[in-house]
Structure 1
Amino acid sequence: MGVEEEYLLVTPEGVPAAQSPAVLGLAARTVPSTSQPGGDVEKEFKSEQVETSTHPCTDLTELLEEIRAGRTRVDEVAQGAGVRIAALGTAPQEVEPTVIPDRRAQAIRAAFGLTAREQLTCGCHVHVSVEDDDEGVVILDHLRPWTPVLLALSANSPSWQGVTSGYASYRSQVWGRWPTAGPTAPFGDAAGYRAVIESLLASGTILDDGMLYFDARLSQRYPTVEVRVADVCLDAADAALQAALVRALADTAVAQAPSRASSPPAPTAPAEPPVRTELLRAATWRAARSGLGGDLVSPVTWRPAPAEQVVGELVDHVRDALVANGDLEAVERQTATVLRRGNGALEQMSWRARGDDDEAVVRRAVDRTLGAPVVAG
């Protein structure tokens, strides 16, 4: 498993800054490259942000160390360009972001108008390795009902263009403007997945398969499933929690799937029909609106339930996989921490309640991004 994170670039005073060309130039000269995937500092769609990623990991503790080291590494490079990094899903203040000087990015800007021009959001993407595309689709179809819970745990974008949005994850609402964004219907198998992609490309609506912005997809770059629903997390440990839960969902999906061996499978009871995408979209909206501060839609009953109960349902659903991976204790500890402390959105709102303005929120976020502890009060 591995984690990709997108960060805002901000001045020491707490204002977003279009400095990614300078940061990327410094990174190219100072960050050693390896033959292993991950570890690089990479461009994103806007000059006010950069992305980094971990190397593939099997151990959760190792992954958390990689996430923290990556944040430190990128911030050190950014400081050479006079800026810092902030793990915020959206900037709290009004921003007119700058599309990077890249031919493809400029083509997207021309084709998608205000959706592209306003887009300045930062997410967390979890990759889990798969045997092949068919196994990947088994995982995609299985984890569909649980992606809203992942969003609620990570929600870290309560503000947009200088106003409090009323959402825990307004990033997901902004991201949802893209024509391929959000939850998907079941694909069935790899052939079904490819047929959907081919139809989307044939429609002429998207430029290429890099614009498949599903909440979860098969990666274009690696032999992985890529779960993209989460906001970037203020706390590195919350990002590691996302990875542990996604890996456990993947393992659970494979364990529960009918065998792909040549012999016919044993008869089983008829499976329940998959949840409709319309209902899944509603559950995702509810998670974006409430985060952990109100009810979520339970993937067990499809009725409202307290966030703590729904998070517990997710952990129970993947408990066997967590035990097999040696992750159960760490996941239970971190989910308890998030439920007690709150996700990034709740932290940001608590700073507001103490009197912080936009720039102060960003400065606090820089500290939290780099590991400053939560201060009670």
Structure 2
Amino acid sequence: MRIVRTVGVEEELLLVDEESGEPQALSTAVLALAERRAEGDSAFEAELHRQQLEFATEPRSSMSELRAEILRWRAEAAASAAEAGATVVALATSPLPVSPTIGTGERYRWLADRFGLTTQEQLTCGCHVHVSVESDEEGVAVLDRIRPWLSVLLALSANSPYWQGQDTCYGSYRSRVWGRWPSSGPVELFGSAQGYHDHVQALLDTEVLRDAGMIYFDARLSDRYPTVEVRVADVCLDAADTALMATLVRGLVETAARAWRAGDAPDPVAVGTLRMAAWQAGRSGLEERLLHPPTMRPRPAAEVVQALLAHVRDALEDSGDLAAAEEGIKALLSRGTGAHVQRELLDRTGSLRKVVAECAARTRG
């Protein structure tokens, strides 16, 4: 009997005023209320800015259970925010102008002093997917083999077209803002767990970074859990898309691990080319062409998404997730990404405030 890998998700949410849609620096109050509501067993944590908060699910083998937990914590976040006079919205950047407020922790103050405006402007919300691995050696083998496909996940999750009240012309402007960190983005092949740890140590030895928590690769070994952590995605507007993201990431991890055990070498695509793929995915989402991972040549986005599904098909069949993944991809391609939905809402209402209000209602379910 095959053991199905566990998956956990971390989602970051914006705290906004329900009437104006403007981000509100209320995380301290919301976190206290969430802890009281949960009687001390809260899944929420503070983030870099006080206009956002984060929750983490438990590791799950069942994708339906994972989706239910995501919905539960979104609802709990909304309820706690409502007590504080706000609401939550699953958008990766604020459509409305905002002056972000750095959190009060010593670590956050250090980041603000060290990185200046880069830290100040990092009011962005991502989605991180953790998938269990048996060892660091297996984890690094996975990291080496999933690199070409990460840009497709970014395109599927694109949910940040607006920045300071303006359309950026990007589907995921969050990915461009996040790329300002010196340790972010795609990385080269590591070859082994020792190669990975040597690379991380070399970055830490520069003393540019505070600690291993600032290893912001698109995918990395978690420094807290026995997992591969894929960090490339925007937070998704629809919880169903978050569950789809988790399903596809687990499929990628399992497919890569099988390839490693079979002795198949990873694709040696250059980091510069991976950056081109990530830029294209952040720019267009699913609206235009993406770079096709096996060739790194532009192809229609829907074709590239289907190539991803084909790549992980065997793993999804074995975990029982194939039908749900096919349906989820069909729905997403038909409905469009969060960025597409936001632009449609603005076209219909003419108001970014109403865009935020509608997206907040969708976040609450």
The alignment's TM-score, normalised by the length of structure 1, stands at: 0.93
1:36-91 CA-partner distances (Å, limit 9, x unpaired): xxx61111000000001111110111111111111001111111111111000000
* CA offsets 1:217-242 (integer angstroms, 9 cap, x no match): 11111111100000000000000001
Q: Tell me which residue corresponds to 1:301.
A: 295
Indicate the residue corresponding to 2:3 in structure 1.
none
Whether contact under 8 Å (1:46, 1:100) holds in the other structure is yes
SS at structure 1 position matched to 2:54: strand
CA distance in 1, matches of 2:278, 2:271: 10
Provide the residue aligned with 1:254 in structure 2: 257
Secondary structure in structure 1 of the residue aligned to 2:217 = coil
2:14 counterpart of 1:8: yes
Offset of residue 272 of structure 1: 6.8
Does residue 338 of structure 2 align to residue 332 of structure 1?
Answer: no
Q: 2:363 aligned to 360, 365, 369, which one?
A: 369
Displacement of 1:214 in angstroms is 0.7
Which residue number in structure 1 is paired with residue 192 of structure 2?
Answer: 189
Q: CA deviation at 1:273?
A: 4.8
The SS at the match of 1:95 is coil
Give me the whole-angstrom Cα distance separating, in 1, the residues matched to 2:213 and 2:260.
29
Say if 2:354 is the partner of 1:360.
yes
Name 2:30's counterpart in structure 1. 23
**Whole-angstrom distance in 2 between the partners of 1:324 and 1:32:** 39
Is the counterpart of residue 244 in structure 1 residue 251 in structure 2?
A: no
What SS does structure 1 have at the residue aligned with 2:261? coil
Q: What's the offset of the Cα at 1:368? A: 1.3
1:28 deviates by: 2.3
Match in the other structure for 2:104:
101
Partner letter of residue 17 of structure 2?
T
Runs of 4+ residues over 2 Å off in structure 1: none
Q: 1:272 to 1:224 in 2, by over 3 A?
A: closer
Structure 1: runs of 5 or more not aligned = 260-264, 372-377
Of residues 254, 276, 279, the one that matches 2:273 is: 279
Native 8 Å contact 1:88 1:156 kept in 2: yes
CA distance in 2, matches of 1:55, 1:17: 28
1:352 partner letter = L
Amino acid corresponding to residue 114 of structure 2 in structure 1: A
Distance 1:133 1:300 in 2: 26
**Unmatched runs of 5 consecutive residues or more in structure 2:** 1-6
Give identity over the alignment, percent.
Answer: 51
| SS of equivalent residue, structure 1 residue 257 | helix
The 8 Å contact of residues 89 and 356 in structure 2, kept in 1 or not, is answered as yes
CA contact 2:145–2:266 (8 Å) conserved in 1:
no
| Equivalent residues, number | 358
Whichever residue aligns with residue 326 of structure 2, its letter is E
AA at the equivalent of 1:24: L
Q: Which amino acid aligns with 1:298?
A: H
Deviation at 1:191, TM superposition (A): 0.5
* 1:204 maps onto 2:207 in alignment: yes
* 2:174 is the counterpart of 1:171: yes
Is the Cα contact below 8 Å between 2:292 and 2:298 reproduced in 1?
A: yes
Output the amino acid matched with 1:311.
Answer: V
Aligned-partner Cα distance in 2 for 1:185–1:20? 37
C-alpha distance in 2 between matches for 1:191 and 1:8: 38
Between 283-292 and 185-194, report the one with greater CA deviation. Answer: 185-194
Determine if the alignment matches structure 1 residue 323 to structure 2 residue 311: no
Q: Is this contact kept in 1: 2:145–2:267, CA < 8 A?
A: no
Match of 1:228 in 2: 231
- What displacement does 1:357 show? 1.4
Rounded Cα–Cα distance in structure 2 between residues aligned with 1:252 and 1:155: 24
CA deviation string 1:111-149 (max 9, x = no partner) = 001000111000000000111111111111111000000
Residue 91 of structure 1 contacts residue 160 of structure 1 at CA under 8 Å; is this kept in 2? yes
Secondary structure of the residue that 1:100 maps to in structure 2? Answer: coil
Query: How far, CA to CA, are the matches of 2:207 and 2:295 in structure 1?
Result: 39
1:86 aligns with 2:92: no
Once the two structures are superposed, residues 229-258 of structure 1 have per-residue CA deviations (whole angstroms, 9 ceiling, x without a partner) of: 000000000000010000000110111113
Specify the SS of the correspondent of 2:96.
coil
Q: Aligned residue for 1:375?
A: none
Equivalent-residue separation in structure 1 for 2:251 and 2:185 (angstroms)? 21
The separation in 2 between residues aligned to 1:334 and 1:344, in whole angstroms, is 14
* C-alpha contact 1:125 1:228 (8 A) present in aligned 2: yes
Counterpart of 2:117 in structure 1 is 114
Note the alpha carbon deviations across 1:243-297, whole angstroms, 9 max, x for none.
00000001101111136xxxxx7xx8xx475111100000000000010000000
163-172 vs 272-281, which deviates more?
A: 272-281
Answer whether contact 1:33 1:40 (CA < 8 A) is retained: no
